[in-house]
Structure 1
Amino acid sequence: MRTRRPQTAAALAVAAVALTTAPVFAGEGGAGGLKVYPANASPGATVTVDTTACGAHRGGTGDASAVGGDAFTLAPGARAEDAVGRFQVPSSAQPGTYEIVVKCSGGGQVTGDLMVGLGSSREQVQPRGHVKTGVGGALGTDPVKTAAGVAALAVAAAGGTWLLHRRARGEGI
């Protein structure tokens, strides 16, 4: 019986080399993609974009017109390979996902997605009001009615205990 292990190992080696040397295209989420912070913003929020796709030129022009925003400039960031820019989401922006495009000054283009929601991405909404589950709450929150209900339950518990005690002693009900 023949084995094909040498051919399989050779094929795997070729595939590994091909994967490590394959070009990375901007905008596909790999190295050099456009990072959008926050990725989920509300109308009026300031959004920061960051990319390493512009390489040594480290600059470019951004386009936020899909969301109704203006063009913005990317400048070298804190890290040597970064290009960073900012723009404001217009207060008239509708909820949805929008594509932000950056054209690098040395050529090339990179894209990223911005999600616009109704509420602020930084503030948490706290629930208010009562939960309508259909269970309980028949007496409401009136303290007098609540006390009367508790008293009725206590009398019923005491009466049931007394009846069980009589039956256990053989006195009947």
Structure 2
Amino acid sequence: MRRTARLLTGTALAAGAMGLVVTPAAGAGAGRLELGPASVLPGEEVTVTTTACRDGGAAGDASAVGAGTFTLAPGERKASGRFRVPPSAQPGTYEIVAACAGGGRRVTGDLVVTLTSTPGQVHPKGSVKTGVGGALGTDPVRTAAGVTALAVAAAGGTWLLHRRARGDGI
């Protein structure tokens, strides 16, 4: 294990000494699509901008979320466009893509579709598994039988208490 670590460390140091360390180019963040808002509800509109395609615009593709294609118009500083997330969109993260007109450069961005207006907050669905109640399940015949048994027990108890109060004994 130590030998492997030394070998990897030595290789990394040698590559760095030879100038082979790769650093991100200036403006590397310019190759992304900016989505506003980045988290949406189904049916909402999304604004898409990028500085990568500002000269000639771009053709956008939001078919991953079911919105189809859209156009990013060129601008002074950014290319921008809009699309509407369909009401039938399912929650999840979707990759939105645009291909720049001058040269076909491809830029991407992530869109998060949620069912709540507060990102990360999910409301529970269904029953809570606490172990209390539900012993008979949801079968209507069993439920009716249980209700009948409780009614008979309540009526019998009331009858016995009434006899006792009258002095008839049990």
Q: What is the TM-score with the length of structure 1 in the denominator?
A: 0.52
Give me the identity figure in percent. 55
Offset of residue 119 of structure 1: 2.2
Kindly state the Cα deviation for residue 73 of structure 1 after the two structures are TM-superposed.
Answer: 0.5
Structure 1 segments, 4+ long, off by >6 Å, are none
Match of 1:38 in 2: 37
2:99 paired residue among 99, 103, 108: 103
Is 1:19 the equivalent of 2:16? Answer: no
AA partner of residue 37 (structure 1): G
- TM-aligned CA distance change 1:21 to 1:93, over 3 Å: closer
Structure 2, unpaired ranges of 5+: 1-12, 120-170
Equivalent of 1:93 in 68, 72, 89:
89
Judged with a 3 Å threshold, the aligned counterparts in structure 2 of structure 1 residues 22 and 46 are, in CA distance, closer, same or farther, namely closer
- 1:70 matched residue in structure 2: 68
Is the 8 Å Cα contact of residues 40 and 121 (structure 1) preserved in structure 2?
no
Q: Distance in 2 between matches of 1:63 and 1:121?
A: 26
Partner residue in 2 for 1:132: none
Matches within 5 A, 1:109-128: 109-120=106-117
Structure 1 residue ranges without an equivalent (≥5): 1-7, 25-29, 123-173
How many residues align? The count is 108
Q: CA deviation at 1:37?
A: 0.6
Report Cα offsets for 1:144-171 as digits up to 9, x if no partner.
xxxxxxxxxxxxxxxxxxxxxxxxxxxx
2:54–2:74 Cα contact (<8 Å) kept: no
- State the TM-score, normalized to the length of structure 2: 0.53
Say if 1:21 and 1:119 are closer, same or farther in 2 by CA, change over 3 A.
closer
CA RMSD of aligned residues (A): 3.2
